[in-house]
Amino acid sequence: MSTSIEPSPENDAPLEHFALPRKIIREVRACASTAADQPEGDIFYLWLQMTVGTPAVAVAGEQWLNVIDEAASVGVNWLVISMGDGVGNIEVTEAMCRWAQDTHQMTVCLHTTMSAPDPMLRTMVCALPKSETYLLVEPSFDAAFAELKAAGIQVALASPESPEAHSACDYPCKMVYVDACGSLYTCGLVAGEREFFLGSVFSGSLEHIVHHPELPHSVDALDTRPKDGCSGCPPLVAKYLCRH
């Protein structure tokens, strides 16, 4: 599938096409008590990958908040932040969680591939609202997070079930995926693949990108890709949590 939007290294470009007036959003959102009160949009999930190697130009803290604002404006109410096996800039991550929860009433999932809880991660998770926060862990490390579960933290599996390998996945039509450099892809499984590149948070309107009919909003063939590439996928996790 061809697109008219090409990957760009211009990550230091101005954000005026992407950022929304945060003050206005906060005031509008403050009129509603929960996310359930918001009119439904056609996008529900935002998946942010905070660590992909060591990107030369990464999205900065304030810019992540702009991404969350923009996503909220198109209906997102469920956020997954994939942190890899470290904590990265824990202050930025906590600010993002609080912004998403306090301003936009989003459910927040922190996705870690750590084999055991890091003290900094533990402190941050415990400080967030327990009913609106999940910690997503890899199934093989689940037992190591028992202490956090006992402390009342909602710990869930990052890959509770695998999508059908031979059928197309249309979850991306309800999701926005953004990598650490601000590039948007159809989903985390195909991040970095040129044919699934959707645009950049630095150069386009998110609403335009998610409604662009020529951009790929589904993944056809899962059988040639590693199954663990779907770990942390927001609709996959949410579907499982809603059933249990």
- Summarize as ranges the residues that interact with ligand SF4 (CB under 6 A): 163, 169, 171-172, 187-189, 219, 222, 230, 233, 236
Least distance to ligand SF4, CB of residue 170, Å: 8
Least distance to ligand SF4, CB of residue 157, Å: 14
Give the number of other Cβ atoms within 10 Å of residue 102's Cβ.
14
Answer for the pair 83, 52: CB distance below 8 angstroms, yes or no: no
Of 187 and 215, which has the nearer Cβ to ligand SF4? Answer: 187
Q: Both tokens of residue 161?
A: 């079930």
Least distance to ligand SF4, CB of residue 47, Å: 8
Distances (CA, A) of 234 to 20, 121, 157, 160, 172: 24, 20, 11, 11, 10
Least distance to ligand SF4, CB of residue 175, Å: 6
Of 148 and 189, which has the nearer Cβ to ligand SF4? Answer: 189
Of 34 and 224, which has the nearer Cβ to ligand SF4? Answer: 224
Of 213 and 226, which has the nearer Cβ to ligand SF4? Answer: 226
Least distance to ligand SF4, CB of residue 45, Å: 9
Least distance to ligand SF4, CB of residue 232, Å: 8
Of 86 and 229, which has the nearer Cβ to ligand SF4? Answer: 229
Of 85 and 193, which has the nearer Cβ to ligand SF4? Answer: 193
CA-based nearest residue to 114, from 150, 95, 88, 91:
88
